Amino acid sequence: MKFDCVKVSGTVDSVRSVYPMNGGYKGTVSIDGSVIPNFAMSSKLYEQLEVGEKVTLYGIFNNSSKKEKNHGMLYGLEKQGGERMFDTNQRLKVPIAMTGFSVIAFFLMFVVGWFPSLCVLRLLFGLSPDIVYNATVLTIVEASLAALFFLWRAWVMLTATANPDAWKTIEPGTLSGRFSKFDK
């Protein structure tokens, strides 16, 4: 879940290996001779990419040490004339999905963790009249921590997309180096 929000500027050399996916396309974009594979784009932004035009791409990219797992998403672009377009529905869609995952994580951790918590408390403190209550409280704390992880990542995504102008600028070659040679 480690990602970077970066800007990449240059001339679009090509957009190839494009195949449709839900709500847009996934393909390979070449900027200033550097290939950026596994790049998801909304239909609106894909239609605005013109070969030979100088653009600034605002993207959200995985930063995994395993290069074959890295992929990116085009969040916005700025054309040569200063016209800017952003896929703002992604700004809310991802945090809302992460919030849903947090609810699922809470209930899953509660159901799966209750009996083991009960057993651990029984081993540590023996039988007591409050053992079921204590196991329930402990399990609620455990489940809340699992849910808070997903809520934290949703908050990170929401705050990262709030100000795209503050994103760090990266060279196309540096960004291309994050991806596997197989994907290029």
No. of helices (H) and no. of strands (E), the chain = 4, 7
Length, in residues, of the chain: 184
| pTM metric for this prediction | 0.76
Enter the tokens of residue 50.
């013109």
- pLDDT tens for 43-102 read 888 888 889 999 999 998 887 778 778 888 899 999 988 889 988 888 888 899 999 999
CA 48 – CA 116 distance, rounded (Å) = 54
CATH of the domain spanning 3-87+164-176, picked from 2.60.40, 3.40.1350, 2.40.50, 2.60.120: 2.40.50
Domain ranges of the chain: 3-87+164-176, 90-160
| CB crowding 13-35: b at 16 or more within 10 Å, else e | bebebeeeeeebbbbbbbbeebb
